[in-house]
């Protein structure tokens, strides 16, 4: 196995990249002002998960729905074709311009590479800034925390550049690395997807064709909450600690043998794992056999459920987009039938976006982020769910 592709090596690599970036003018190098979560040694608390799949693997099987990941998400073929077109050799070995400037086809890539490795990574927000944000927004209905806005912009920018630089480091003669940072995602969405499959044809409010949150969930990095925010719960010193922050990923095409079980922190997301995730992510299902694995305790009968993200939403977008705690949907939500597609409910970005846009137009440092902040700081957490989810991942992915 490529020694550079392991949980420990990649985590250290990302930490090094973040420290490098902190020395640059656009980011603060003052440790007192760092806005990401840190581990006990003071290093960035980078969270990542690694999976590998064959090149003919369908990343979005069962998810192509305008209300889910859209109709035309970027698959491995589109990602490869974006890379191949950018790396197309326009001149021959003698320096003469080629007549046929054809990029390496995906069929050729499948013959040359044995697998695609997917690295999903999160740089969590600093918990103390999130707590201060919650204090600010609970004092006033239209309150905001400019500290949260600054944190988001810095942490998001740090991870975006760290992923780009890690992609450069992972590239070699035998490895093609495509760093899925913001710029690549936007350009690949525009260049690898036909125009008639972009915009509303892809799905309402789907601005790009590569959902980082869904990749993170597929890789087991975190789970969706009922709010559609992805977060990660871990046991730290006997207590559950919740991590949330920006997400990015890197796709590697290499010649190593596909890992069909779980080996060296790399696993294969097989059909059993995907089916399990589908049920865990569907909060219209409240069966305790599924709910026991959820980090989000919205549907927890034992703990009477947590509704903090829904109740904190000033625009009402969460209420319009959330199933009942008892399962199914309220009459009010069901009446909004045009928001459903094949049984899946689209999040009400109209209300969410309009409210945020109006306030930000008045106050550029204004942010809502209530669902994120309240969930991370005071959402109901369950130790048993963390343990059971990790055990189930181990069990389902042990063998293909």
Tokens of 18: 């973040």
- The counts of H helices and E strands in the chain are 15, 11
Q: How far apart are CA 149 and CA 360, in angstroms?
A: 11
The pLDDT value recorded for residue 19 is 94
Tokens of 188: 């690949």
Note the maximum CA span of the chain: 72
The pLDDT value recorded for residue 100 is 46
pLDDT in tens, 214-231: 999 999 999 999 999 999
Q: Is-contact 230 217, C-beta < 8 A?
A: yes
The pLDDT value recorded for residue 54 is 97
The pLDDT value recorded for residue 231 is 98
CA atoms within 13 A on the CB side of 398: 6
Taking the C-alpha atoms of 53, 57, 59 and 61 in order, what is their torsion angle to the nearest 10 degrees?
A: -140
Q: How far apart are CA 355 and CA 247, in angstroms?
A: 24
Q: Which residues pair with 201 in a beta bridge?
A: none
The pLDDT value recorded for residue 94 is 57
Q: How far apart are CA 383 and CA 240, in angstroms?
A: 6
Tokens of 390: 């990790």
Q: Is 56 helix (H, G, I), strand (E, B) or coil?
A: coil
Tokens of 245: 């922050």
Which segments of the chain have a pLDDT < 50? 1, 100-101
Q: Is 175 helix (H, G, I), strand (E, B) or coil?
A: coil
Residue 112 CA to its chain's centroid (Å): 29
Residue 387 CA to its chain's centroid (Å): 22
């Amino acid at each position: 196995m490529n020694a550079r592709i392991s949980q420990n090596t990649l985590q250290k690599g990302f930490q090094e990249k973040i420290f490098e970036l902190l020395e640059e003018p656009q980011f603060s190098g003052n440790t007192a002002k760092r806005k990401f979560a840190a581990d006990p040694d003071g290093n960035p608390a980078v969270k990542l998960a690694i999976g590998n799949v064959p090149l003919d693997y369908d990343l979005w099987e069962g998810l192509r729905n305008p209300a889910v990941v859209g109709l035309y998400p970027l698959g491995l073929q589109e990602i490869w074709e974006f890379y191949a077109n950018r790396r197309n050799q326009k001149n021959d070995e003698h320096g003469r311009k080629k007549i046929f400037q054809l990029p390496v086809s995906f069929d050729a890539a499948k013959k040359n590479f044995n697998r695609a490795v997917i690295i999903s990574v999160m740089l969590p927000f600093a918990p103390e800034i999130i707590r201060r944000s919650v204090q600010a927004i609970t004092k006033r209905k239209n309150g905001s925390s400019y500290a949260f806005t600054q944190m988001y912009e810095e942490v998001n920018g740090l991870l975006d550049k760290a992923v780009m630089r890690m992609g450069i480091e992972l590239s070699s003669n035998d490895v093609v690395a495509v760093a899925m940072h913001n710029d690549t995602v936007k350009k690949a969405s525009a260049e690898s997807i036909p125009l008639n499959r972009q915009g509303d044809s892809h799905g309402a409010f789907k601005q790009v064709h590569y959902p980082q949150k869904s990749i993170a969930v597929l890789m087991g990095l975190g789970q969706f909450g009922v709010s559609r925010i992805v977060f990660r719960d871990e046991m730290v010193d006997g207590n559950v600690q919740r991590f949330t922050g920006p997400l990015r990923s890197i796709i590697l095409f290499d010649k190593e043998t596909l890992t069909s079980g779980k080996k060296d922190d790399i696993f294969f997301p097989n059909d059993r794992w995907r089916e399990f995730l589908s049920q865990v992510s569907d909060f219209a299902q409240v069966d305790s056999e599924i709910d026991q694995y959820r980090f989000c305790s919205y549907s927890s009968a034992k703990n009477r459920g947590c509704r903090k993200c829904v109740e904190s939403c000033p625009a009402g977008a969460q209420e319009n987009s959330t199933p009942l705690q008892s399962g199914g949907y309220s009459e009010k939500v069901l009446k909004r039938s045009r928001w459903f597609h094949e049984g899946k409910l689209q999040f009400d970005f109209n209300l969410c976006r309009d409210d945020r846009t109006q306030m930000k137009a008045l106050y550029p440092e204004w942010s809502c982020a209530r669902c994120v902040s309240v969930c991370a700081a005071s959402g109901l957490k369950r130790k048993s769910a963390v343990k059971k989810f990790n055990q189930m991942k181990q069990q389902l992915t042990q063998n293909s």
